[in-house]
Amino acid sequence: MQPSSILLLTTGGTIGSVPGPDGPIGHLSPDELLPHWGGAPEAYTVTWKEIFQQDSVNVQPAQWQQLAREIFSHYAAYDGIVVTHGTDTLAYTSSMLSFMLPNPPIPVVITGAQIPLVSPLSDGVSNLRCALAMAASGIPGVFVAFHGTILRGARAVKTHSLSLDAFHCAGDPHTAHISAHGLVIPREPLPASGGKPALRDALCEKVALLKWSPSFSPDILLLLAREGWEGIVIEGYGKGGLPLAREGWPDVLARLRERDIPVVLCGQCQAESDYGESAAQCPAGCISGKDMSTEAAVTKLMWCLAQPRDPGQSKTAAAEAWFRQDLAGEKSTRGKSLCS
């Protein structure tokens, strides 16, 4: 059987870091990583390329665009693409790539590690091999591979900073997993891929995320508007609850709409979220994020605000129309999961 041709793009993060007494003191180049990894199995032919090398807390929208362009330019030459990335912002990157790269013709798999590859206890070896297996699966989409599981890119959430089982799928089971049978993929629930692959890397950086607190007044949203923020994502209590009995909410939301600033409402309990109730309790003037992860809601709004709109259509109306589409399996319903 012909080996699968895989492109591996490195961007830094713990997996390739060199630890020191007070934190990382540098990053290994792809060539320096190979001896620590032990090399790819014979089932894969792997080509390595360094895109950038930095801790993921420093990854900015410009890096998302750079990475999306690099991935898009290599679709035709490879069976799959693997990206190594730091774990702290990995879920933001995987979500944004899911929107910037609609209808990918091949698997794009993002992975990383909690322990550097230079350590004999590193989880990076198994994570890389899991990512390679998914990249060679022939199932198109953007995915995260971590600790023996595969998650859809726009559903992944980092839930642990010390445990090796660091990522989970918001509100749903994983997409695939490694077992004694190898890579097990229940294909039926996966969304069908359709349409022509595209690169849509325009985005709006001025999207704020606000985790609601009992001390807040709705006027804080107007402060964000005055500071030039063009979109706001609110994490409401539980499944997305807000203290609407307090004065000012209808007026504030109406004023934000007049200023053409969309507001998306998500919940703070991402492990269990009821799709129907989350949408039903969303107040007028807000866009329901339903059971999306915060990472997906923020990156999707950034992406939606930069997409084309019809003549005469307001920015808010256009962003809302784009946002309501399930573009990358980022929403789900219980009983009919797009992520299981």
| pLDDT bucket at 340, cuts 50 / 70 / 90 | very low
With contact defined as beta carbons under 8 Å apart, do 111 and 144 qualify? yes
Share of the chain above pLDDT 70, in %: 87
Query: DSSP class of residue 75?
Result: G
With contact defined as beta carbons under 8 Å apart, do 75 and 157 qualify? no
- pLDDT given for residue 274 in this prediction: 53
Share of the chain above pLDDT 90, in %: 59
Q: Please give the Cα distance from 169 to 158 (Å, whole number).
A: 9
For residues 237-265, give the mean pLDDT: 90
Tell me the residue ranges of DSSP E strands in the chain. Answer: 4-10, 17-20, 23-27, 44-50, 80-84, 107-111, 141-146, 149-152, 156-158, 167-169, 176-179, 182-184, 207-211, 231-236, 263-267, 287-288
Say yes or no to pLDDT of 273 above 60.
no
Residue 78 is encoded by which pair of tokens?
């490879």
Q: Which residue has the higher pLDDT, 247 or 235?
A: 235
Say yes or no to pLDDT of 53 above 80.
yes
- pLDDT digits over 100-133, tens only? 999 999 999 999 999 999 888 999 999 999 999 9
| pLDDT bucket at 180, cuts 50 / 70 / 90 | confident
Q: Please give the Cα distance from 198 to 142 (Å, whole number).
A: 13
- pLDDT digits over 203-235, tens only? 999 999 999 999 999 999 999 999 999 999 999
Q: What is the mean pLDDT of the chain?
A: 87
For residues 18-32, give the mean pLDDT: 73
For residues 43-58, give the mean pLDDT: 91
Report the SS3 class of residue 316.
helix
For residues 256-269, give the mean pLDDT: 92
- pLDDT given for residue 16 in this prediction: 85
- pLDDT given for residue 329 in this prediction: 73
CA distances to 75, 96, 183, 226, 289 from 330, in Å:
23, 11, 22, 31, 10
Residues designated catalytic: 14
Say yes or no to pLDDT of 189 above 60.
no
| pLDDT bucket at 333, cuts 50 / 70 / 90 | very low
Say yes or no to pLDDT of 81 above 50.
yes
- pLDDT given for residue 245 in this prediction: 81
Q: Please give the Cα distance from 113 to 127 (Å, whole number).
A: 7
For residues 240-254, give the mean pLDDT: 87
| pLDDT bucket at 339, cuts 50 / 70 / 90 | very low
Say yes or no to pLDDT of 335 above 70.
no
pTM over 0.75: yes
With contact defined as beta carbons under 8 Å apart, do 255 and 285 qualify? no
With contact defined as beta carbons under 8 Å apart, do 331 and 183 qualify? no
Say yes or no to pLDDT of 149 above 90.
yes
Where b means 16+ CB within 10 Å and e means fewer, 222-253 reads bebbeeebbbbbbbbeebbbbeeeeeebeebb
